[in-house]
Amino acid sequence: MKEILLIEDDEYVNQNIMEILENENFKVVSAQNGKEGLEKIKKRKPDLIICDICMPELNGFDTLKILRNEKETARIPFIFLTARASMADLREGMNCGADDYLTKPFGVNDLIKAVTMRLQKSEDTYNLVEELKETFVKKIPHELRTPLIGILGFSELLKNEIESLTKEEILVMAEKISSSGKRLHRRIEKFLFFADLLSMSPDEINGILSPAEINEEYYKLKIRQVNNELGIKRNIDINLQASFLRIEESYYEAILHELVENAFKFSFDDNHPITITGEAGNEYYKTRVINYGKYLTSEKISRISSFNMFDEEKSTMEGNGLGLAIVKKIIELAGGYFIVDSSPDFKTKFEFDIPLAWKNNCANPVLKRESYITSFASLNKMSK
């Protein structure tokens, strides 16, 4: 049975919420203020906390800050109850690390939905982290050992045979060490990036105040850099419609980087270029990356997850299988959609939608954009 801690100083509200949740088979422990709530958390860690904002002795914001700063309580799902719903309050709560808000008065269904959703998300995250831990133990040694062998082998050879080696041989070995070092660095960075994504909330990447700008020339440059890093030459056609997306620019870049890198590695048909297109709809920006290479069955597509390469038992391509898991996780956090489609003619399409910074279905999109920028500039000013 899931245990919920309810921190609410209004006795009438406290009793009503307890009754509703207990009728849904939750165990509920209550506290009258933040100070009392923290004392009860020391004795038993709840699965979820529901907390009022305005309370005597210790308010909701300060209670949450204390919880988020403690390792044992930092991950407990936290829902605020508030009679105040100003943008400044909402932003302060989210900055403190709140997972959700319920504005008084709220309906029974709203309460139950918020609680069950947060508990399910917490359980899903826990299961994913446990799976990741298990996979790390099994696969990280192999993933890191391969480039490390090259570094250690060639450096040892240089150390022992330096007197007998020609300048050209030393240069070749130095390049091999450098290449292996860069591969090792890329793999470690992916591990760390994915670990960060697992602990993020949608608010941390949504780009509300700094929407990503889609500039075709900028992304052509970025894609050429990926090409140069991998040393794989492929014909590429790029056509990205200018737009602004509700995601931080670095995360859109990360998605495109992983999909383009994947296309470079697994595209074997030089007669068909890799195509990258992007176009804005009314609410979403649709990006497609298409390449011709290995055919992906529906079973392989369903296995897109951390450390799951499409053809792991046969593939000799460099990679730790995290690329598409990173893509999937970012798009999920951004509130978008991700589709993989592969056909027997070896055409594989990766398609993802990211919400636009503002809708395009208005009579005057310029005014709509200015309204968007003005409103969120005001929100930012209020929160400071």
pLDDT in tens, 45-59: 899 999 988 888 888
Amino acid at 9: D
Residues in the chain: 384
**Residue scoring higher pLDDT (184 or 363):** 184
Examine the fold and report which residue of 147, 173, 198 is the final residue of a domain before the chain moves on: 198
Based on the domain organization, do 137 and 161 belong to the same domain? yes
Q: Does some domain include residue 122?
A: no
Domain boundary, last residue among 198, 227, 251: 198
Pair 278, 295 in one domain: yes
pLDDT per residue over 235-254, tens digit each?
A: 888 999 999 999 999 999 99
pLDDT at 277 over 90: yes
218 and 192 in one domain? no
Query: Helices 108-161 and 11-23 sit at what angle, rounded to 10 degrees?
Result: 80
In a domain, 64, yes or no: yes
Residue from 244, 243, 262 nearest 254 by CA: 262
Residue range 210-232, pLDDT digits in tens: 789 999 999 888 888 877 777 77
In a domain, 367, yes or no: yes
Which pLDDT belongs to residue 381? Answer: 38
What does pTM read for this prediction?
0.58
- Least confident window among 70-74, 88-92, 217-221, 247-251: 88-92
Q: Identify whether residues 192 and 329 lie together within a single domain.
A: no
Tokens 């906390």 -> residue: 49
- Asked whether residue 97 is assigned to any structural domain, the reply reads yes
Judge whether 114 lies within some domain. no
pLDDT bin (cut points 50, 70, 90) of residue 256 is very high
Same domain for 225 and 367: yes
pLDDT band at 363, cuts 50/70/90?
very low
User: Which contacts (CB < 8 Å, 24+ apart) does range 91-96 have?
Assistant: 91/379, 91/382, 91/383, 92/61, 92/383, 93/53, 93/60, 93/61, 93/64, 94/201, 94/203, 95/383, 96/61, 96/64, 96/65, 96/68
**Same domain assignment for residues 217 and 183:** no
- Are 298 and 379 contained in the same domain? yes
> Does 177 share its domain with 229?
no
Task: Calculate mean pLDDT across residues 300-325.
Answer: 54
Within a domain: 331: yes
Query: 150 is in which domain, residue-wise?
Result: 131-198
Higher pLDDT: 160 or 299? It is: 160
Tell me the backbone φ, ψ of residue 188, rounded to 5 degrees: -65, -45
Task: Identify the residue with better confidence: 311 or 151.
Answer: 151
CATH, residue 305 = 3.30.565.10
Q: Based on the fold, state whether residues 321 and 233 are members of the same structural domain.
A: yes
User: Comparing 375 with 90, which gets the higher pLDDT?
Assistant: 90
Of 44-53, 132-141, 190-199, 320-329, which has the strongest mean pLDDT? 44-53
Q: Which of 198, 231, 248 is the last residue of a domain?
A: 198
Tell whether 192 and 244 lie within a shared domain. no
Higher pLDDT, 98 or 258: 258
CATH no. for residue 30?
A: 3.40.50.2300
Task: Determine the pLDDT at residue 141.
Answer: 62
Same structural domain for residues 377 and 252?
Answer: yes
DSSP 11-55: HHHHHHHHHHHHHTT-EEEEESSHHHHHHHHHH---SEEEEESS-
Split into its structural domains, the chain has a count of: 3
89 lies in the same domain as 170 = no
Residue 126 lies in a domain: no
Evaluate whether residue 116 is within a structural domain. no
